Chain A
Amino acid sequence: MLEIHYFASVREAMQRSKQQLSLPEATMTVGGLVELLSRQDACFKNVYESGKPLLVAVNQTMVDSTHPVCDGDEVAFFPPMTGG
C-alpha cells in the first residue's frame, strides 16, 4: 500500500488531502505512478495536464520522475513552495 498526500492547490484540485493506493507492481517509478494516477483519476489528470509545475516527494524528500516508488512509501504531490 502506498500513502499519497496532496498539498495546497493540488489538494484542492484533488478534493482530498490523502489517499491509499495498491501498487500493481512491486516497484515502479514516480513517472509510472503519475501515469497510473492520471488514468485512474480525472482530478489527477487535470492537475497533471494543467501545465503548472507539479513537485513530488517520496518519504519526505524531493525526487524526480525516475525515482523508484515501493510498497509502504509515502508519496506527496504539491506545487512549488511559497514560504518565507
Chain B
Amino acid sequence: MSWSQITVQESDFNLSEQYELLRQKAGDAGAIVLFTGLVREVYSMEPDRKCQPATVQGLTLEHYPGMTEKCLQEIAQKANSRWPLLATRIIHRIGMLVPSDQIVLVGTASAHRSAAFDAAQFLMDYLKTRAPFWKKQQTLKGSHWVESRQSDSDTIKRWQLHD
C-alpha cells in the first residue's frame, strides 16, 4: 500500500521538509517529483475577457471543507491505480496569499521517473478542475473571482482517453 497524505492549510510549506518526508515514506524510490504552484503578479485574464494584463496585489482562496479533502483523496487514489506510486503528497493553501507565495504542492515518488512525472501532472490537472477551490484576485481595479479556463478542462481529456 503506497503512502499518501493530503493537507489543506493556511500556512506556508517548506519544500525540503516535504521532499525529506516523501523520501522517508517512499521506501525504495528511484524518482521523486515535486511540483509547486505560485501566485503570479501578472494575470492576463480580466472578467470582461479583453485579456488586458492586470497586476495582482493578492489572492484569496476559498474552498468547500470536507468535499475538498474527499476530492483530493479520490484524485490521489486515481493516480495510485494508474501508476506504481510509492508515495503521494498534496498540500493546497487557502486564505490570503500575495504574489510569489506558494499555493499548491504535489509530490510523487516511484521506482522510475516517468511514473512520477506523469502522476504529478495528472494530479495537478485533476486538482485544478475537480477540487472545490476558488480564487478571488485583488487588483488595482478591484477584486474579482477568477473564471475557469477551458484549457484547464481540456487538459483532463488527454487522461480520460485512456480511462
List residues of chain A with CB under 8 Å of any chain B CB: 5, 7-9, 11, 53, 57, 60-62, 76, 78-84
Contact = CB atoms under 8 A, between A and B. Distances in A.
A83 B152 CA distance: 11
Contact of B131 (A8, A11, A76, A81): A81
Contact of B145 (A8, A57, A61, A62): A8
Contacts of A76: 64, 67, 132
A13 to B, nearest CB: 10
Interface in B25-84: 37, 61-64, 66-67, 70
B134 A60 contact: no
B134 A82 contact: yes
User: Which of B92, B134, B145, B147 has the largest number of chain A CB atoms within 10 A?
Assistant: B134
Contact of B127 (A5, A8, A84): A84
Contacts of A8: 62, 134, 136, 145
B128 interface: yes
Given A7-B62, A8-B134, A81 B67 contact: no
B64 A80 contact: no
A83 B145 contact: no
B139 interface: no
B135 A5 contact: no
Interface residues of B, number: 27
B48 to A, nearest CB: 14
Interface of B: 37, 61-64, 66-67, 70, 92, 103-104, 124, 127-136, 145-148, 153
Given A5-B64, A84-B124, 18 more contacts: A8-B62, A8-B145, A57-B132, A60-B64, A62-B130, A78-B132, A79-B134, A80-B153, A81-B129, A81-B134, A82-B128, A82-B134, A83-B128, A83-B134, A83-B135, A84-B37, A84-B103, A84-B104
27 contacts: A7-B132, A7-B134, A9-B134, A9-B145, A57-B64, A60-B64, A61-B70, A76-B64, A76-B132, A78-B134, A79-B134, A79-B147, A79-B148, A80-B129, A80-B148, A81-B128, A81-B129, A81-B132, A81-B133, A81-B148, A82-B146, A83-B131, A83-B134, A84-B92, A84-B104, A84-B124, A84-B133
Nearest to A7: B64
Nearest to B63: A83
